[in-house]
Chain A
Amino acid sequence: MITCADDLVKAKEQGNKRLFGSRVRVNVGTSTCCLAKGAELTYNALAYGITSAGINAELVKTGCNGMCWAEPVVEVHQPGQPKIIYGKVTEKEIPRLVKAIANNEVLADLAIARVDSEDHILVGSIDYATDGASLAGHPVAAIETTDFAKMQHRVILRNAGAIDPENIDEYIARGGYFALAKALTMKPEKIVREVTESGLRGRGGAGFPAGIKWRMCREAAGDVKYLICNVSEGEPGIGMHRSFLESDPHAVVEGLIIGGYAIGARTAYIYVRDNYRVALQRITKAVNDAREAGLLGADILKSGFCMDIIVKEGGGRYVCGEETALLSCIEGKIGEPRQRPPFPTNSGLFGKPTCINNVETWANIPVIIEKGAAWYSAIGSAKSKGTKVLSLAGNISRAGMIEVDMGTKISQIIDVTGGGIPGGKKLKGIQPGGPSGGVLPASMARLTIDYDELAGAGSMLGSGGMVIMDDSNDMVKLARYFTDFFVNESCGKCVPCREGVCRVRDMLDELIAGRSDKTALKAFGDLAAPITKACACALGKTAMVPVTSTMKHFRADYDSYLQ
């Protein structure tokens, strides 16, 4: 049981014993995507190899360290020496890796990078290479010098891949739950003010200031209030919220407890997409472990504050990510968006004031409390503060989960962190955040990760699923693909969304079949305005963006189909 700050310190020691024990520690990334690349085989083969070689090792299943392009990823840390990150460790590499571990050697050809010390934002410097041996001429590059890492800033991903996501002590060892202890000694109003002053904006797409939403919910009338953590993530081509939840679930739990105390809510729901099995299992375990440790339930850390968290498995509909549809879903009804106002902060779940934030928004909270608003708002651009987690996918050399400061140039993310476009192809389009943000042309790679800058360019940051497209992509077919997505995901409540978008898809089919002339392009424009205006929710309102944005930026692709 953890009932006071001293208990936290004790748990921290326990965690550190596992993280920095006297035996070699071996981390194997086992997120869903790692598993798809054979991480399970790697893990089993390692377990067998280590046992039969009689090596005394701490073998741990961790989450995603972001290097999804190099899966299966294995990290080896011999006490006192740099941690070595190995990539593409398939089953057949295991015999030599085991031998190297037994003889305390480094396999330079399999290694991606070495970590001598980590600059952890909560606990400061975490040193791996403590034995004083010279690192000059080490055969493996230091992580901070690699292209993949040098532009990243791991605030939200501070623990991802390094800790056992199913072990609460390891989270605490890296400063976890200390922000909660601190928050519970603060006045709730002060916490809300801190979040407001940090400049944190919602990471779910629209970028609404989190502090303002918190204040509205806190000041709304009523004793019963709810919090919701949105992990619906229904956009096609996005996986980072899942990977994050699979890697560091306690960060979300901690953020929610702090939020509950600040806003005055005693129940929180974590809404997770239904087919995220590993994420569901890990977040459920984290909630249960926190409850068992006394960090959830009655009288948390002797503060008198009580709270509980319920994990809700979603129903597999994109529209349920929309906040009012999400409410209906949790209430056990079909997920049709509702009229706003009233806004959920006044009348949300079961008619009570409800604060809905994205999972990444919640994960920012412990950091803001621990480091303060001033520290936080110094990161990022003028009006977009902090960092952003992105999942980089599509035609890119290093697809993975990354985190950069707001204000970072997209071109740099593609060329440096992502390693450019593979196969000698050229960049053609960028989808910064889900289909609703449309596709931007290569020339706009000069834009930065910034809510307002992207909105100004007619796009949106969205929740951060960045898809890179090379010049082999046909933008008309792509627009058709996205339009088809909206047709399938419409909840069917409004006619323009249900029928209009469907009609647009048919027109695109006609165009692709070579049966259209110039008038068709004008017709797209004529349809876009009423659909955008008449739809009840943002799904319908943005359903035409894929077509209008590609027509604007890739007109040649459309012209090539005209008769």
Chain B
Amino acid sequence: MADVTWTPEGEKLFAKLLAAVPEAMREPIKPKLIQMLAQRAGSGSIDEAAIKTMVQEDLPEPQKSALMQAIGMQAPPQQEGPVLEWSGKSEIMFELMLGEVPEGMRSIFRGKLSAVIAQKTQGGAVTDDHVNAVVNEIVPEPFKSNILKKFKTLGDFDPAIIAAIVERFGTSRDKLMFIMHAVQDEIGYLPREAMLAISDKTGIPVSAIYSVASFYKAFRLQRPGAHHVKLCCGTACHIHDTAGVGREIEHKIAASPGVSIEKTLCLGCCDCAPVVEIDGKVYKGAEAQAKIDSITLG
């Protein structure tokens, strides 16, 4: 692989192509792309044409369309995704999956992935299994693991997770909060069954675990929505929120099932006040409004 050569334009276009690949995947995918390009170019240097052909002919959808667009090629006409009928948790799962896609590519992925699902359902309703199958079959790592982890926040969890976590920290009382944080990171909240399992594995009475879980605001006893919003109610945000944006956000979310809200004191970005944290990222001002609108109306 070390002996591939590039034309100057080819090298530039390749850099552009790589930059469009989400950061987490860039390194693992780079050698694979170069290998495909070397095959395309044969004994010559890799030029722009080789890259474009490779993207168009060697890459699977939906990456293909997204990358074609990113390197300035005319992407194949974007079909509106088919209208799907959702059942069970499948729609929330689908949204969680899309949430992992970089924002700019999301609309392309939405169409393509809907089409893949439509093929699987053959006109019937989409079930949780369909979405699971799509993630397992076509989503690459590390997104696959991330998404599957998020799916766990939707309820059912594997008791083995808790056994492994308790194993890691040990069973003494001072490790309890470490265990609870780890379990919550893993399944998104602390369901009753999880607390029972922690008690079972550590020997700490379940009443003690419950009192810790309910005393500390860091622990969630309810399943979070597909989107979770933390509204900052700290001093700086309070002073700056003269227009009552916070209350407006509260109302919007109250009217949107699937979105959960939590009030916190100071997200630590007082100089950007007022701010909200949406799905783990802090937003301010107009951006925050736009983001809230996109998750509450959509």
Question: B217 touching A317 by the CB < 8 A rule?
Answer: yes
Residues of B near A275 (CB, < 8 A) are: 218, 230, 264, 267-268, 277
Q: Give the interface segment out of B47-55, B110-118, B174-182.
A: B174-182
Question: B282 touching A35 by the CB < 8 A rule?
Answer: yes
Given contacts A235-B266, A332-B173, contact A36 B284 (CB under 8 A): yes
Question: B215 touching A394 by the CB < 8 A rule?
Answer: no
Q: Give the interface segment out of A45-53, A407-415, A503-511.
A: A45-53
Partner of B177, one of A235, A237, A313: A313
- Choose among A239, A332, A478 the residue with the greatest number of B CB atoms under 10 Å from its CB: A332
Question: A435 touching B265 by the CB < 8 A rule?
Answer: no
Q: Mark A396-411, 1 if CB is under 8 A from B, else 0.
A: 0001100000000000
Question: A315 touching B216 by the CB < 8 A rule?
Answer: yes
Query: How far is the CB of A259 from the nearest CB of chain B, in Å?
Result: 21
Residues of A near B149 (CB, < 8 A) are: none
Question: A332 touching B15 by the CB < 8 A rule?
Answer: no
List CB contacts (< 8 Å) of A272-299 with chain B. 274-277
Query: How far is the CB of A326 from the nearest CB of chain B, in Å?
Result: 12
Question: A316 touching B177 by the CB < 8 A rule?
Answer: no
Interface contact tally, CB-CB below 8 A: 157
Partner of A315, one of B208, B218, B280: B218
Given contacts A47-B19, A481-B238, contact A318 B265 (CB under 8 A): yes
Partner of A274, one of B208, B218, B239: B218
Q: Mark B216-253, 1 if CB is under 8 A from A, else 0.
A: 11110000000000100111111110100000000000
Given contacts A44-B23, A242-B268, A330-B174, contact A52 B280 (CB under 8 A): no
List CB contacts (< 8 Å) of B244-298 with chain A. 264-273, 275, 277, 280-284
Say if the beta carbon of B211 comes within 8 Å of chain A. yes
Q: Mark A481-494, 1 if CB is under 8 A from B, else 0.
A: 11001000001000
Question: B271 touching A35 by the CB < 8 A rule?
Answer: no
Question: B216 touching A316 by the CB < 8 A rule?
Answer: yes
Interface size class, chain A: 35 or more
CA–CA, A36 to B283, complex, Å? 5
Given contacts A335-B216, A469-B239, contact A237 B270 (CB under 8 A): yes
Residues of B near A491 (CB, < 8 A) are: 215
Question: A238 touching B266 by the CB < 8 A rule?
Answer: yes
- Choose among B16, B234, B238, B270 the residue with the greatest number of A CB atoms under 10 Å from its CB: B270
Say if the beta carbon of B106 comes within 8 Å of chain A. no
CA–CA, A481 to B236, complex, Å? 12
CA–CA, A327 to B142, complex, Å? 38
Question: A33 touching B217 by the CB < 8 A rule?
Answer: no
- Choose among A36, A238, A277 the residue with the greatest number of B CB atoms under 10 Å from its CB: A36
CA–CA, A324 to B271, complex, Å? 31
Residues of B near A329 (CB, < 8 A) are: 177, 216
Question: A32 touching B218 by the CB < 8 A rule?
Answer: no
Say if the beta carbon of B192 comes within 8 Å of chain A. no
Q: Mark A505-544, 1 if CB is under 8 A from B, else 0.
A: 0000000000000000000000000000000000000000
Question: A315 touching B271 by the CB < 8 A rule?
Answer: no
Q: Please list 21 pairs of residues, one from A and one from B, whose beta carbons are closer than 8 Å in the complex, sorted by A's number.
A: A36-B269, A37-B272, A48-B19, A233-B268, A235-B266, A274-B216, A312-B178, A313-B177, A318-B265, A332-B173, A332-B175, A334-B211, A392-B271, A393-B273, A399-B271, A400-B271, A431-B235, A467-B235, A478-B239, A481-B238, A482-B235
